[in-house]
Amino acid sequence: MKFLEQRSLVIVTGASRGFGSALCESFSKALMHSNFILIARDEARLVEVRDKLTAKYPTNSYEYLVCDLIDSNQVDTCSKKITELIQQNKDNRNYIFVHNAGSLGDIERPTVEVTSVESWTNYIQTNFLSLIVLNSAFIKSLPKSTMDINGNTRGGDTSDVSAPDQSSTEEDGSTSCLVVNVTSAAAKNPFQHMPQYCSIKAARDMYFKVLSKENPALRVLTYSPGPLETDMVQRLRQEWVLGESVASWPMLDCSASAEKMMEVIKENKFTDALAFDYFFGHDSVPITRDT
């Protein structure tokens, strides 16, 4: 299937800035007559992104949902709205959910001093539990005919998962689903004073591995975009104990990494739920303790 050339419903969290905004731009360039749902907590920035994309890509439609992921009630409301919007847009050939939103957490103290139950609870809610709720609502709302971009039927026996069938499904009326988990090298590498960020990135990666194992029809891309010039990196420079080391990182522009992710999706050769790194490809980043 020509995945990025089919009418799609695309959902992006953390869409108001940084990598999320760049992803919205890249998907918009690749798709026409498609529907976008932009999710973030900053309504003013969401409106700005929506209006910019609407003017630039008039064949697409853009809606936004304001949701602070730390608030479980807002997450529940957002999940119900996602279900409604999917049901209202059943004429799509592809359904794509990009889980991009994330935060650094406590980066100022060593691990043994990060002991606040409230801090951990809020961080897990924002960066992990909210993802689980939104992702489950998305998967459960998909049309029953949904197929992955390799043409495999949705659901089925998970005991014998053979190599993907590269045959096209353009003529049979089927639909496909892609879930993108934006991960980090921190999911594998222990960074000092970053216990929350490293732990939850690792947990998210495993969650999607289990999801993929149970649902071989779903395509799951776990993408590590590399070190990006964003507000998060600026905070690392200012507050992290190893902030000075950031100067040695090979910083990337968000749009460059977003375009790389589009190439990975278009080629459709990635292994489900196995980390694909901007620099190193599939899961080949060495585990080090240098930082």
Which pLDDT score, from 0 to 100, does residue 145 have?
75
Confidence grade of residue 166 (pLDDT, cut at 50, 70, 90): very low
pLDDT (tens digit, 9 = 90+) per residue, 264-274? 999 999 999 99
Q: In this model, does residue 289 exceed pLDDT 80?
A: no
- Over the range 247-286, which residues count as b (16 or more CB within 10 Å of their CB) and which as e? eeeeebebeebbbbbbebbeebebebbebbbbeeeeeebe
Banded model confidence at residue 186, pLDDT cuts 50, 70, 90: very high
Name the packing angle between helices 130-141 and 195-214 (round to 10°): 20
Asked if the model's pLDDT at residue 79 lies above 90, the reply is: yes
Predicted pLDDT of residue 4 = 84
pLDDT of residue 163: 36
- Residue 5 is predicted with a pLDDT of 78
Residue with tokens 């522009």, as numbered in its chain: 253
> Is 291 a residue whose pLDDT tops 90?
no
- Give Cβ neighbours of residue 16 (< 8 Å, ≥ 6 apart): 38, 40, 41, 42, 45, 46, 48, 49
pLDDT at 256 over 60: yes
**What's the pLDDT tens digit per position in 17-57?**
999 999 999 999 999 999 999 999 999 999 999 999 999 99
Residue 239 pLDDT = 93
Residue 171 has pLDDT above 90, yes or no: no
pLDDT per residue as tens digits for the range 105-116 = 999 999 999 999
Mapped onto helix, strand or coil, the DSSP state of residue 91 is coil
pLDDT digits (tens, 9 = 90+) for 146-160: 755 554 544 333 333
pTM: 0.90
pLDDT of 68 > 90? The answer is yes
pLDDT tier at 287, thresholds 50, 70, 90: very low
Note the pLDDT of residue 236: 96
pLDDT, residue 162, reads 36
Tell which wins on pLDDT, 291 or 222: 222
User: Rounded CA gap, 258 and 253, in Å?
Assistant: 9
pLDDT in tens, 208-254: 999 999 999 899 999 999 999 999 999 999 999 989 999 999 999 99
pLDDT of residue 164: 41
Tell me if 142 sits within 8 A of 85, measured CB to CB: no
Residue 96 one-letter amino acid: I
- Work out the mean pLDDT of the chain and round it to a whole number: 89
Virtual torsion, Cα 23, 29, 30, 33, nearest 10 deg: 110
